[in-house]
Amino acid sequence: MNIYDVSRKAGVSIATVSRVLNGSPNVSERTRTLVLEVMDELGYTPNVFARGLGLGTIQTIGIMCSDSSDPYLAHAIYYLEQGLRSHGYDSILCCTGRSLETKQKYFDLLRSKKVDAIILAGSKFVEPKPRDNDYILEAARELPIMLVNGWLEGENIYSTLCDDRMATHNAAGKMIASGCRSLLYLYTSQSYSGAGKLQGYKDALGGYGLPVREEYIHQCPKDILAARDLLLHLHREGLPFDGVLASDDTLAVGAVKYAHAAGKSIPDDLSIIGYNNSNYAICTDPELTSIDSKIEALCTTTINTLMGVFNGGNVPSRTTIAADLIKRATTKF
């Protein structure tokens, strides 16, 4: 029993049956009633697979993220699901972890389900080696690939990005202007987004004629206590620093805890800026100045772009959104 049986018995095209299934308005009431009666008579129940058998669309988008429990990605998934739902699309969620092999496996799985598009949420999906991204380019021949804060060049691939480089340039610049001279940069990953953030930090130093010193740039796991302990270690090693710019609020919370543990006053002895303006920024005393990376706008724009693609519109392959700096109490400005 499948859609072909329904179409034959009702004497209408498969496309018409599909339109009925998808609630399209472009079907007469009479035809709709006929098709529904035939389905009832045949005991046909449409399901995701049946609707995927080459008849338009299953109205389902695959969302891939490395870890849906990360606060940034959790918000992304929330906004993406809500946005897709408002356009009548279901979301199939895949939490992939970080390994390339697993990502590819889930990617293939989503393709085999005939989803209408795949959204890659977060900057962890584009690998530094171009060859490692071939599977994405290949899939884009069949369905649109949407990147939320990631960037990959290719046909039928659409990126919506936060202007991370400008955001850290601006933030680091304000810290320097307010008196910081030894500004540490802490980061979690070397993704496209991560590279932009680091470059913004370097741009700001350059703009003030300050040297870029490798001993002031440190990678750290996305973990509050790991960041605190890294700073305590640098402090004990005798590295002087009066500011911390972090690529994630988690690390900035660690910097606040470091200051408390080391008896440093915030912001007089140490200025701190986080990234993502998550709820973590409000947990600490003093509360964190943080960069609002506009995750809701990124997701809304991603969905709007995708709907533009579905409707055959001429949509941009790359959209960049400016971040905001939310000033609280860990900075002097």
**Could you list the residues that contact its own copies (CB under 8 A)?**
43, 45-49, 58, 60, 63, 67-69, 71, 74-75, 77-78, 81-82, 85, 90-95, 113-114, 224-225, 250, 253, 256-257, 260, 279-280, 282-285
Of 26 and 47, CB closest to its own copies:
47
What span, in angstroms and rounded, lies between the C-alpha atoms of 68 and 272?
A: 27
Of 60 and 271, CB closest to its own copies:
60
CB of 113 to its own copies, least distance (A): 6
Instruction: Give residue 176's identity as a one-letter amino acid code.
Output: I
CB of 241 to its own copies, least distance (A): 20
Strand order in the sheet with 183-187: 217-219, 183-187, 243-246, 271-275, 289-292, 324-326
* Residue 258 C-alpha from the chain's centroid: 29
Of 67 and 203, CB closest to its own copies:
67
Between CA 266 and CA 271, with CA 270 as vertex, the angle to 5 degrees is 85
CB of 54 to its own copies, least distance (A): 14
Of 110 and 205, CB closest to its own copies:
110
Of 151 and 280, CB closest to its own copies:
280
CB of 147 to its own copies, least distance (A): 20
Q: 63: part of which helix (H) or strand (E)? A: strand 60-65
Cis, bond preceding 316 (omega within 30 deg of 0): no
C-alpha pair distances (Å), 126 with each of 149, 215, 216: 10, 27, 27
CB of 16 to its own copies, least distance (A): 19
Long-range CB pairs of 11-16, under 8 A, 24+ apart, other chains included: 14/55, 15/55, 15/56
CB of 329 to its own copies, least distance (A): 12
What span, in angstroms and rounded, lies between the C-alpha atoms of 239 and 153?
A: 40
CB of 195 to its own copies, least distance (A): 26
Instruction: Give residue 83's identity as a one-letter amino acid code.
Output: G
Of 111 and 202, CB closest to its own copies:
111
Q: At what angle do helices 3-10 and 29-42 cross, to 10 degrees?
A: 120
Of 58 and 205, CB closest to its own copies:
58
CB of 126 to its own copies, least distance (A): 22
* Residue 26 C-alpha from the chain's centroid: 35
Of 94 and 220, CB closest to its own copies:
94
C-alpha pair distances (Å), 258 with each of 75, 111, 261, 265: 28, 46, 5, 10
Of 71 and 308, CB closest to its own copies:
71
The DSSP annotation for 77-131 comes to HHHHHHHHHHTT-EEEEEE--S-HHHHHHHHHHHHHTT-SEEEEESGGGS-SSGG
CB of 99 to its own copies, least distance (A): 14
Tokens of 275: 């990234």
Q: Where are the beta strands (DSSP E) in 157-293?
A: 157-162, 183-187, 217-219, 243-246, 271-275, 289-292
